[in-house]
Amino acid sequence: MTGPGAQMHALVERLYPLCRSITGDGVRATLDIVGEYVPLTVHEVPTGTQVLDWTVPQEWNIRDAYVADATGKRVVDFAASSLHVLGYSVPVSTTMPLSELRGHLHTLPEHPSWVPYRTSYYTPDWGFCLAQETLDALPDGTYEVHIDSTLADGHLTYAEHVVPGQVPDEVIVSCHVCHPSLANDNLAGIAVATFLARALAERKPYYTYRFVYAPGTIGAITWLARNAQRIDRVKHGLVLACAGDPGHLTYKQSRRGDAEIDRVLRHVLAASERPHRVVEFSPYGYDERQYCSPGFNLGVGSLTRTPYAGYPEYHTSADDPDFVSPEAMADTLAVCREACAVLDRNRRYLNLSPYGEPQLGRRGLYDALGGRSDTKQAQLALLWVLNLSDGEHSLLDVAERSGLPFDAVAAAADALHGAGLIKA
């Protein structure tokens, strides 16, 4: 494959080895790579900055970490996988018996060959993550424990990419950049967001699209705090995560439930006849819960394949590049592109000849349909758009009420507008 799916998968593979967290050089390295695909504006927010009810934490960086047995062999090695270290581990260099070390070791007994992903962002601690079968094979004895990390004042890093539109009103597309080697839960979302930005840049969208690459929770909160004065520009939004697994697409509605983005995703998914689910909002999951917090209450939904914590591989070493596929990411990207197209073309129109049905034939509108395989559908679309162009119904309303494809309705509106029969 050489299309967008293969290119997105290649991006996932490039990003996979990097050790990311909510702060630090791993986030910067990730954004450096994404910046090769789309230009980014990178923001550095100092430790201690008040952001809403939170404070930007100290920056964490790590260079090496391992557990070594009495022979010096590394039985757990950060160099093999960034998942092997508890995220935000404080530095440690000591020896201790296995009985004491066990309290700092994290495994998944139900999946003995997988390594779990664990963090301790806001409570100073240290630890290692390893396969249960590795732990079971460790003999009693003394082990060397070494974590070469720093936790010091620094910055929280996030980035934005803006695709200018015809109007300053914005659609935000948000993805989190804080997880280490997890291909589906964050890297696939980053890849789909990036290639959506590239696709939108090939045309002049109606809305301005702002792509936010930020650490989960604290990053979105920081973005909201720094953009509170201009938040009224945000008309729609979408959080992308878990975008490459083999499951069906799932759309989680905004807190409002009836926001335009909710209606658009419901329509696009239903019209596509893809197997999918639409679920109600809950204040648990990804950063949609920050954008949808009651003080902001933005129209932001979340698009995933298998949702948060809904697959066994979630937050484990089994969430690797083999778990995500080019085809699944391409499918997620296609739905995002379709949704953006509907958002950009959805307008309310006013019929300029509302008393009786205007004569379409003498305006050449019926003649233009001659010979088309969808002539009847196109005629119906013209009539439906005329009838519901009362300044109150949008084209999406027309599509939903008529049962016609949105593209047919939008094409009819373009023709009627060109003939001077309706105005936006």
Question: Domains of the chain (ranges plus CATH)?
Answer: 4-13+155-344 (3.40.630.10), 59-152 (3.50.30.90), 348-423 (1.10.10.10)
pTM: 0.95
- Whether residue 224 contacts residue 232, with contact meaning beta carbons closer than 8 Å, is answered with no
Three-state DSSP state, 62: strand
How many Cβ atoms sit within 10 Å of the Cβ of residue 373? 7
What phi and psi values does residue 186 have, to the nearest 5 degrees?
Answer: 135, -45
CA 354 to chain centre: 43
Instruction: Give me the pLDDT at residue 1, please.
Output: 55
230-269 pLDDT, tens digit each: 999 999 999 999 999 999 999 999 999 999 999 999 999 9
- Please check whether residue 18 is in contact with residue 180, taking contact to mean a CB–CB distance below 8 angstroms: yes
Q: What's the confidence (pLDDT) of residue 363?
A: 87
pLDDT tier at 372, thresholds 50, 70, 90: low
Question: Which residues in 270-318 belong to E strands, given as ranges?
Answer: 276-279, 300-304
By C-alpha distance, which of 398, 411, 405 is closest to 368?
411
| pLDDT score, position 366 | 74
The continuous run of DSSP H or E covering 288 comes out as helix 288-291
Q: Which two tokens stand for residue 77?
A: 């090695």
387 exposed, middle or buried (CB, 10 Å; 0-12, 13-18, 19+)? Answer: middle
d(CA 394, CA 401): 11
Cβ atoms within 10 Å, residue 167: 12
Q: Give the pair of three-digit tokens for residue 331.
A: 């499918």
